[in-house]
Structure 1
């Protein structure tokens, strides 16, 4: 898969490419992860070469990157699962095999998002939304039922004294509070279907995540 498009960066159109990443991209992908998730995000959750090798080997259709100005500025990775095999309270580590996607099931019905990142200087350029749109196209192309994944709630820690995770999500949906990740996913067309506690080690989210879905409209 490869497509060309324009991002709006610093007020100007910038030509970009979305494509499947390969072994040659590992250094650029790791650099983009480090820029996208600075401390206190746990460094052990950033991609390593062994995980990336599993991605491009097991499910290359779910390994996407976006390039602009001669470098990788973001990426998105997924695997296919049979959703009925997992409880609604699943964790990121459980369903993604700690990011190694060794549980990828080509006969499953759901494309599950392992990760999406865009380096800070290209946020709000459209890069993240285009990565998400491309993964929706992958869902349609493979005739899967849905795209699903847990969205971090990095604004929750500051509101935890006022609201439960479910109440926090409701207020974000109502527009009373803004959350940089959840609000972005809503703009991308993802629909919240629940909250998972202890989903992913994340200080800002108090380990909570909103489980958010996009259903294939052609099935």
Structure 2
């Protein structure tokens, strides 16, 4: 079981946090976090259900972590091990994660694939997403995997789609000419875009695009 205690700062005030694996006792809180993080038009049927969460803790608990502040779970990150071939990157979120049920978890896979990351909006200024991502980098290294990978939403793209292709939009975000709340965050976490995938996820804001973003294990 993973457990780490540290501090984050809120307007200069240190706030103690606990990073740990989530368990079945956290399921109601995790579903509530999903509802806060992905309001309509994001489809509510894509929020976690308890069968999915049960699989997360039973099949690959190393990849199921959360952050607790003052006894409240305020964020979560879920991963699954998979076999990834960079020369054939196209896939959907549903294919990579078995629709979030992760029954395709491969203990012999070469890649830790991020299924989901969620932080309650009221806590997003504390850097919790980056802390959870760094915890997953440790899992990559400890398990001798080649990379951490995941498909990021590009929720700002619908505002620019009339003038930019998805590739042009991502290039502009990487250059710093545009800001995207998901892609820019993943860049700050150390991940790099390696491919843009059409019909990655049913997501109106991203026009169903996803951008695959990778962190390579520096010891492989």
Range class of TM-score, shorter chain:
over 0.9
Structure 2: distance between partners of 1:67 and 1:194: 33
1:1-219 matches, cutoff 5 A:
1-84=2-85, 87-219=88-220
The change in CA–CA distance for 1:46 and 1:105 in structure 2 (over 3 A counts) is same
Q: CA deviation at 1:69?
A: 2.0
* Larger CA deviation: 27-36 vs 6-15: 6-15
TM-score computed with the length of structure 2 as normaliser: 0.97
Q: CA deviation at 1:86?
A: 9.1
Unaligned runs of 5+ in 1: none
Structure 2: distance between partners of 1:132 and 1:62: 11
Say whether the 8 Å CA contact 1:86–1:95 is kept in structure 2: no
State the 4+ residue runs in structure 1 displaced beyond 6 angstroms.
Answer: none
Structure 2: distance between partners of 1:117 and 1:49: 16
The change in CA–CA distance for 1:69 and 1:77 in structure 2 (over 3 A counts) is same
| CA deviations over 1:129-173 (Å, ceiling 9, x no partner) | 000000001101111010000010000000000111000000000
TM-score computed with the length of structure 1 as normaliser: 0.97
Structure 1: distance between partners of 2:138 and 2:193: 20
The change in CA–CA distance for 1:29 and 1:86 in structure 2 (over 3 A counts) is farther
Say whether the 8 Å CA contact 1:30–1:48 is kept in structure 2: yes
Q: CA deviation at 1:9?
A: 2.7
Q: How many correspondences in the alignment?
A: 219
Unaligned runs of 5+ in 2: none
Structure 1: distance between partners of 2:188 and 2:105: 28
